[in-house]
Amino acid sequence: MSAPASDTDPPARRERLRLESATAETHPNGDVSVAVTLEWADERVQGFSDGFDTRENVLRMGAASTVEAVRLLLGRDFAVELLGVKATKAFGTWVSMVYLRVGTGHDAQELLGARALDDDDLVRGGAIAVLDALNRVLSRHLP
Protein backbone atom coordinates (compact mmCIF):
# COMPACT_ATOMS: atom_id res chain seq x y z
CA MET A 1 0.00 0.00 0.00
CA SER A 2 1.37 3.44 -0.91
CA ALA A 3 1.67 6.34 1.47
CA PRO A 4 -0.72 9.27 1.03
CA ALA A 5 0.61 12.29 -0.85
CA SER A 6 1.82 15.14 1.31
CA ASP A 7 1.55 18.86 0.69
CA THR A 8 5.27 18.95 -0.20
CA ASP A 9 5.03 16.27 -2.91
CA PRO A 10 5.23 17.63 -6.48
CA PRO A 11 1.92 17.52 -8.35
CA ALA A 12 1.33 14.36 -10.36
CA ARG A 13 2.30 14.68 -14.03
CA ARG A 14 -0.75 14.98 -16.26
CA GLU A 15 -0.36 12.65 -19.25
CA ARG A 16 -3.03 14.08 -21.53
CA LEU A 17 -3.36 17.20 -23.60
CA ARG A 18 -6.12 19.55 -22.50
CA LEU A 19 -8.51 21.23 -24.91
CA GLU A 20 -8.58 24.85 -23.85
CA SER A 21 -10.85 26.24 -26.57
CA ALA A 22 -12.46 25.36 -29.88
CA THR A 23 -14.08 28.19 -31.83
CA ALA A 24 -15.58 28.90 -35.22
CA GLU A 25 -16.13 32.30 -36.79
CA THR A 26 -18.49 32.53 -39.76
CA HIS A 27 -17.71 35.19 -42.37
CA PRO A 28 -20.25 37.07 -44.55
CA ASN A 29 -19.12 35.17 -47.68
CA GLY A 30 -20.15 31.81 -46.16
CA ASP A 31 -16.67 30.72 -45.14
CA VAL A 32 -15.75 29.77 -41.60
CA SER A 33 -12.47 30.02 -39.67
CA VAL A 34 -11.80 27.45 -36.97
CA ALA A 35 -9.26 27.72 -34.14
CA VAL A 36 -8.41 25.02 -31.59
CA THR A 37 -6.19 25.75 -28.60
CA LEU A 38 -4.48 22.91 -26.71
CA GLU A 39 -2.57 23.18 -23.45
CA TRP A 40 0.27 21.06 -22.11
CA ALA A 41 2.50 21.96 -19.13
CA ASP A 42 1.44 25.63 -19.30
CA GLU A 43 2.27 25.82 -23.02
CA ARG A 44 -0.55 26.73 -25.38
CA VAL A 45 -0.64 25.97 -29.08
CA GLN A 46 -3.28 26.77 -31.69
CA GLY A 47 -4.27 25.03 -34.88
CA PHE A 48 -6.34 26.77 -37.56
CA SER A 49 -8.50 25.82 -40.54
CA ASP A 50 -10.58 27.77 -43.04
CA GLY A 51 -13.29 26.51 -45.37
CA PHE A 52 -16.94 26.42 -46.34
CA ASP A 53 -19.51 26.57 -43.57
CA THR A 54 -21.20 23.17 -43.74
CA ARG A 55 -21.89 20.84 -40.83
CA GLU A 56 -19.52 18.16 -42.11
CA ASN A 57 -16.77 20.63 -42.98
CA VAL A 58 -16.85 22.40 -39.61
CA LEU A 59 -16.55 19.01 -37.87
CA ARG A 60 -13.61 18.11 -40.13
CA MET A 61 -11.95 21.51 -39.57
CA GLY A 62 -12.20 21.04 -35.80
CA ALA A 63 -10.41 17.70 -36.14
CA ALA A 64 -7.82 19.07 -38.61
CA SER A 65 -7.08 22.10 -36.42
CA THR A 66 -6.50 19.79 -33.45
CA VAL A 67 -4.08 17.63 -35.46
CA GLU A 68 -2.22 20.80 -36.51
CA ALA A 69 -1.96 21.96 -32.88
CA VAL A 70 -0.59 18.54 -31.83
CA ARG A 71 2.04 18.75 -34.59
CA LEU A 72 3.04 22.24 -33.45
CA LEU A 73 3.40 21.05 -29.88
CA LEU A 74 5.36 17.89 -30.64
CA GLY A 75 7.25 19.03 -33.73
CA ARG A 76 6.90 18.04 -37.35
CA ASP A 77 8.77 14.79 -36.68
CA PHE A 78 5.67 13.45 -34.92
CA ALA A 79 3.80 11.82 -37.81
CA VAL A 80 0.04 12.03 -37.48
CA GLU A 81 -2.41 11.96 -40.37
CA LEU A 82 -6.14 12.59 -40.31
CA LEU A 83 -7.59 9.85 -42.50
CA GLY A 84 -11.28 10.48 -41.99
CA VAL A 85 -13.97 12.32 -40.04
CA LYS A 86 -17.59 11.28 -39.84
CA ALA A 87 -20.73 12.08 -37.91
CA THR A 88 -23.07 9.14 -37.51
CA LYS A 89 -26.14 8.26 -35.51
CA ALA A 90 -25.56 5.63 -32.81
CA PHE A 91 -27.80 4.66 -29.93
CA GLY A 92 -30.16 7.52 -30.70
CA THR A 93 -27.54 10.28 -30.65
CA TRP A 94 -25.07 11.80 -33.08
CA VAL A 95 -21.44 10.78 -32.62
CA SER A 96 -18.33 12.30 -34.19
CA MET A 97 -15.70 9.77 -35.18
CA VAL A 98 -12.16 10.31 -36.41
CA TYR A 99 -9.72 7.90 -38.02
CA LEU A 100 -6.01 8.71 -37.62
CA ARG A 101 -2.65 7.22 -38.49
CA VAL A 102 0.24 7.84 -36.09
CA GLY A 103 3.82 6.97 -37.06
CA THR A 104 5.20 5.70 -40.34
CA GLY A 105 6.11 2.38 -41.92
CA HIS A 106 5.90 -0.73 -39.76
CA ASP A 107 5.53 1.39 -36.62
CA ALA A 108 2.34 3.10 -37.83
CA GLN A 109 -0.80 2.71 -35.75
CA GLU A 110 -4.33 3.42 -36.91
CA LEU A 111 -6.53 4.93 -34.22
CA LEU A 112 -10.20 5.73 -33.81
CA GLY A 113 -11.64 8.40 -31.57
CA ALA A 114 -15.26 9.25 -30.82
CA ARG A 115 -17.31 11.84 -28.99
CA ALA A 116 -21.04 12.32 -28.45
CA LEU A 117 -21.82 15.28 -30.67
CA ASP A 118 -23.55 18.45 -29.55
CA ASP A 119 -25.14 20.08 -32.63
CA ASP A 120 -24.18 23.50 -31.34
CA ASP A 121 -20.47 22.71 -31.02
CA LEU A 122 -19.19 20.78 -34.03
CA VAL A 123 -15.65 22.16 -33.68
CA ARG A 124 -15.38 20.86 -30.13
CA GLY A 125 -16.85 17.51 -31.18
CA GLY A 126 -14.15 17.06 -33.83
CA ALA A 127 -11.39 18.23 -31.49
CA ILE A 128 -12.34 15.95 -28.61
CA ALA A 129 -12.68 12.94 -30.92
CA VAL A 130 -9.06 13.52 -32.06
CA LEU A 131 -7.86 13.80 -28.46
CA ASP A 132 -9.82 10.66 -27.58
CA ALA A 133 -7.78 8.77 -30.16
CA LEU A 134 -4.41 10.44 -29.60
CA ASN A 135 -4.20 10.86 -25.84
CA ARG A 136 -3.70 7.11 -25.44
CA VAL A 137 -0.40 7.23 -27.35
CA LEU A 138 0.78 10.81 -26.82
CA SER A 139 2.15 10.31 -23.30
CA ARG A 140 5.23 8.67 -24.85
CA HIS A 141 5.91 11.76 -26.97
CA LEU A 142 5.04 14.66 -24.66
CA PRO A 143 8.03 16.59 -23.26
Buried b (16+ CB within 10 A) or exposed e, 77-106: eeebebeebebeeeeeebbbbbbbebeeee
> CA-CA distance, 75 to 124, in Å (whole number)?
23
Give domain status of residue 8, yes or no.
no
pTM: 0.85
pLDDT tens by residue, 41-100: 888 999 999 999 999 999 999 999 999 999 998 886 778 999 999 999 999 999 999 999
Q: By residue range, what is the domain housing residue 103? A: 18-138
Please tell me the total count of domains within the chain: 1
Give domain status of residue 1, yes or no.
no
Question: What mean pLDDT, rounded, does the chain reach?
Answer: 87
Give domain status of residue 11, yes or no.
no
Q: In the prediction, which pLDDT does 129 show?
A: 96
CATH number at residue 102: 3.30.160.270
Give domain status of residue 13, yes or no.
no
* Those residues with Cβ within 8 angstroms of residue 110's Cβ, 6 or more apart along the chain or in another chain: 83, 99, 100, 101
